[in-house]
Structure 1
Amino acid sequence: MDGECSRGDNQESILSHQTSEPRYMTYEYLESITNVFSEERIIGRGSYGVVYKGVEDGKTIAVKKFKSLFDEKKFMKEVNYLKMLNHKNIVPYIGYCNENPKIKQMFNGELVLVEEPHMLLCMEYLPNGSLRDYIADKSSRLDWRKWYTIIEGISQGLNYLLGQDPPVTHLDLKPENILLDDNMEPKVADFGLSRLLYENNTIETVNFAGTLGYMPPERIHENKISTRFDIFSFGVIILEIIIGDRNYPAVNETPFDDFIEMQLQKWGEKKMNKQDNTSFKIDCQQIRRCIRIGLLCVQPDRKKRPEIKDIIQMLRDYLDEVSS
C-alpha cells in the first residue's frame, strides 16, 4: 500500500514528530505503543470496535481498532472524510492503518494462509471522555454554564460539517460521539456512517444509519435522510443534557411553555442554593432558550426544523440580550 512503512522506516518516534498532515501507521507500530492492545490500555468500546490509549515518549493518542468483520469500504470512507475536515469542534485525525497480513490457521486439519484485516484510526487523545459519561453521571453533573458552552461548541462543529460543499451529514450524532478535550471543549467524532449530500437533497436509502432515539422519524418510517437528520439528533442531545434522559414530550402534544417551565423548576431546585439569584436568572434565560431550540429541532416534520445557521443565530441573539 502506498505510504506504508515499517518499524525500521523510522516510525518509532512518530508521535514526537506529529505534523498537521495525517500519516499512515503500521500495525506493528500501533501494537508497540498500545502494549499489544492490552486490556489496561482500553479507553472505550463501541459496536464497531475498541479504542486504546497509545503512548510513546510522553505523547498520547487514541487508537480505534475496528472489528475484523467491519466493512473496509466504510472504514476507508471515514478515513477520507477525516482527511478533509479541520475545525476546532471536530476531533483531530492523526493517521490510520489498513493492512491485510496473511496468517496461518488450521482449517479441516490443515494449516492454511488466511488474511487477517487490521483497520485502525488514530485520533487526538481527549482526556475527558465522551459527553455520555457526563449525562449518565447524575452525581457530578456539570454546572449550567459549562453545559451551555458544550451546546454552543457542538452547534459550531455541526455548522462546519453542514457548511461543506457538498454538506457532510454525520448520521450518528449522539453523546457517545461527542468527545471532550482537557478544557471540556466538545469535538464531534466517528464519521463511519457519514454521507455527502449534494445540493441539500433528500435521498432514500435502504442502508440502516443512525442510532434509535437520535434518529428522526423520516429515517425510521420512510428511509429518508437529509441535512435535517443531524438537526433532529442535535435537538435530542440538547434536551437530554437539560432533562438528563431522552424522554422528552411529543412536540404536538405538549405546549412548549408548559414543558419549559417544568424543566426550569427542576433546575431551580438543584441550583437555588448554589448560586446567587442574579446568576440563576441568567441561567434560566439560557436554559429556556436551549429547551426551545431543542424542541424545534425534534419536530416530526423535517421542513419545520431550523437550519443550523438559525440555531447559531438563536444562541447568539441570547448573548446579545444578556450583554445589552
Structure 2
Amino acid sequence: MSRIENYNEEQKLYLLYCIRGVVDTVEEERHHHHHAPKKMLSDSSTAVRLGDDVLQNWKLIGCGGFGAVYRAKQKDWRFDVAIKMLHTNDSERLWKEAKNMARASSNFVLRVFGVYQGFGPNVTTDERVGIVIEFMKRGTLESLLNDLAGPPPWPLAFRLAHQLALGMNFLHTMVPPLLHQDLKPSNVLLDDDLNAKLADFGLSRVTNSILTVETDSRSEKTTGDQEGTIAFIPPEAFQRPYEPLRSFDIYSYGIVLWSILTGKKTIFSLVVLRVPLGDRPPSHEVDCSGVSDLVKLMERCWDGDPDKRPSFRVSSHQVVFAHVSDCLKVTNGVFSRHELVIHNAVHQVLSKLDPVNGFNLTPLSNEEKANFVDNHRAYIIQKVSMAMAITEELGNMVHPETYSQIQAKATNHDKIRVLYSTILHSGGVNVKAAFYDGLETHEPNLLKRMSSNSSP
C-alpha cells in the first residue's frame, strides 16, 4: 500500500475530497459487487446478442479506468464495430449504459448495435459482457486536438460546437430527460468526416453524489480517466448531497467549448478547491477574432450559479426569463455563417492527419478511371471539397456556359452535380479520366479513402 507522503498534490486533494463524503459511495459499490448475484446480459430478450462466433480480427484501440474498447469485424455484417468491456464483469452497469444509448437514438449520439457475451479476444475462462457500438475511425475529439496541437480551423470548430449542442439538446428533451454527466473531449467520437457524436453514457443517472471513486487496487492513485472527468464537473457538484440537473451538462459543455476553441486540455491541479471559488480556464487564451459569440456563450455556460446558465434550447415556459439564452441559437448562427467552407476545413484537417507521402495509387487505364468515377458518383458528390480547382483542371473540356453554371452554384455538392449532369454524362471516357486525374491532384486523401474502400 502506498504511503500518503508519496502522493502528489493532486492525489492528496482527491483523497481529501473522498474523505469529505464520497468514500461511502465507494463502500456501497464494493458491497454491491461482492454481494449482488452476477447476471449476464442474456436476461434481455430484446437485445441483439453477439458472441465470439460472429466477431473476428479483434484489436485493442482504447483503455481507461472503466475498462477496454476493442475493434472487431462482424462477419455477417461485413463491417467493423467497437466492443466496450469493463474491467469488472458489471453487467448491470453495461446494460444500463446500452439502454441509455439505445434510447438516445440520434445522428449526434453513438449508435448501439447490441450486447456482447463471450470469452473475448484473449479467451478467458470466464465469460465477459460488453456493448457493441458503432466504430468511429477518427477516434475522439481529445485525440484530434492532440494531433492538431491546437484548435481546428474555425468552420470545423463551429460545426463541432453545434453538433455537440444538438446532441445534448436531444438528450435533455427526451421523456424523461437523460443527463449525460460525463461530457468531455474523450467522450466525443468523430466519424470519417469529423462529425461529432456523443458517447460513454456510463454516468447517465441521477445520484446523490456525482463522483463515484473507483479505487484501483493495484496503484491507489487517481486515474487519468478520473482526472479528465473532474475538470468538467460544476462547482455545485462538489457539495453533498447533490442531485444532477441539466445545468450540470451545460457547465461541462462550456469547458468542452474552451477545449475546442483553444485546442488545449483543462488543468486538473487544485480543481477541487479552485472551481468552487470561481476559477475557470483562461478565456484570454481563445483567439476571439470572429468567435466572440461562442466565447460569451462559453462563459455563460460555466457560470457559478446554475440558474444563470443557458439551456441548449429555450422552452416556451422559459421565454419569460430575460437571462435564459439558447445555446443552439448561438451555435447555429455561428456555424451557418461558415457552413459553405466546412468541406475545405475538413479537407485541411484530414490532409494533416493522413499525409499521402509514400502512398501510390495503382495505375489505371482510362477505362478503369472512367468506371471508378461512375461507380463512386454519390460519394464524390457528397465529399469533394475542391470542385472549382478540379473544374479548372478540365480546361477546354468544360464549355464556358457549363463553367458559368458551376461557378454560380453555392456548394461543392451542387458544383459536382453540374459536372456529372453535363460533361461527365456525355463527354465519354477521356473526360472522366481527366476528372479522375483532377481528383488525384486536388483530393488525394479522398481518392485514397475511396480506393481503400474499393479494395476486397
Instruction: Compute the TM-score of the two structures, normalised by the length of structure 1.
Output: 0.70
Determine if the alignment matches structure 1 residue 162 to structure 2 residue 172. yes
8 Å Cα contact 1:74/1:192 also seen in 2: yes
Asked if residue 300 in structure 1 is aligned to residue 321 in structure 2, the reply is: no
Cα separation, partners in 2 of 1:217 and 1:117, compared to 1, 3 Å: farther
Contact 1:134–1:140 at 8 Å: present in 2 too?
no
Aligned to 2:86: 66
Q: Pick the aligned partner of 2:237 from 219, 241, 247.
A: 219
Judging changes above 3 Å, is the alpha-carbon distance between structure 1 residues 76 and 303 closer, same or farther for their aligned structure 2 residues? same
The residue number in structure 2 matching 1:81 is 100
Distance 1:53 1:221, change over 3 A: same
2:196 and 2:303 map into 1 onto residues whose CA distance is: 25
Which of the two has greater helix per residue? 2
Structure number with bigger Rg: 2
Q: 2-side partners of 1:250 and 1:100: how far apart? A: 43
One-letter amino acid matched to 1:315: T
Q: Residue 44 of structure 1 corresponds to which residue in structure 2?
A: 62
Q: Which residue of the other structure, out of 283, 287, 293, is the alignment partner of 1:289?
A: 293
User: What amino acid is aligned across from residue 62 of structure 1 in structure 2?
Assistant: A
Counting only pairs closer than 5 Å after superposition, residues 40-189 of structure 1 correspond to structure 2 as: 41-56=59-74, 58-67=78-87, 69-98=88-117, 116-139=126-149, 141-189=151-199
Change (3 A) 1:322 1:121: closer
Q: Deviations over 1:220-279 (max 9, x none)?
A: 2234211111111110000111122325997997999x945x6326xxxxxxxxxxxxxx
Is the deviation greater in 130-139 or in 224-233? Answer: 130-139
Alpha-carbon distance in structure 2 between the residues aligned to 1:176 and 1:255? 20
Corresponding residue for residue 406 of structure 2: none
Alpha-carbon distance in 2 for matches of 1:299, 1:97: 41
SS of the equivalent of 2:303 reads coil
Q: Is the 8 A contact 2:151 2:260 kept in 1?
A: no
Q: 8 Å contact 2:101–2:112 — kept in the other structure?
A: yes
Q: Give per-residue Cα distances to partners, 1:117-140, cap 9 Å, x unaligned.
A: 511111111110000002223447
- Supply the RMSD in Å over aligned alpha carbons: 3.5
233, 251, 256: which one aligns with 1:232: 251
2-side partners of 1:122 and 1:136: how far apart?
Answer: 27
Indicate which of 1, 25, 30 corresponds to 2:50. 25
Q: What displacement does 1:98 show?
A: 4.4
CA separation in 1, counterparts of 2:117 and 2:182? 23
In structure 1, give the amino acid aligned to 2:113: I
Task: For 2:161, give the aligned amino acid.
Answer: I
Q: CA deviation at 1:34?
A: 3.7
Quick one: distance in 2 between partners of 1:241 and 1:205? 28
User: C-alpha distance in 1, partners of 2:333/2:190?
Assistant: 26
Q: Secondary structure at the match of 1:82?
A: helix
CA spacing shift, 1:155–1:255, aligned 2, 3 Å: closer
Q: How many angstroms apart in 1 are the aligned matches of 2:234 and 2:154?
A: 27
Residue 2 (structure 1) shift: 5.5
1:34 touches 1:52 (CA, 8 Å); kept in 2?
Answer: no
Amino acid at match of 1:93: V
For structure 2, the residue ranges without an aligned partner over 5 or more in a row are 1-41, 214-225, 314-325, 340-456
Provide, for residues 203-227 of structure 1, a one-character-per-residue CA deviation record: whole Å limited to 9, x for no partner. Answer: 7447628820011111122342111
Residue 451 of structure 2 corresponds to none
Conserved? CA contact 1:3–1:24, under 8 Å: no
Deviation at 1:179, TM superposition (A): 0.1
Stretches of 4+ aligned residues off by more than 3 angstroms: 1-4, 98-101, 138-141, 203-207, 247-256, 316-323
Partner SS state of residue 84, structure 2? strand
Structure that is richer in strand per residue: 1
Aligned residue in 2 for 1:112? none
From the superposition, tell whether residues 71 and 218 of structure 1 become closer, same or farther in structure 2 (CA, over 3 Å): farther
Percent identity among equivalent residues? Answer: 22
What runs of 5+ residues in structure 1 fail to find an aligned partner? 5-20, 36-40, 106-114, 197-202, 266-283
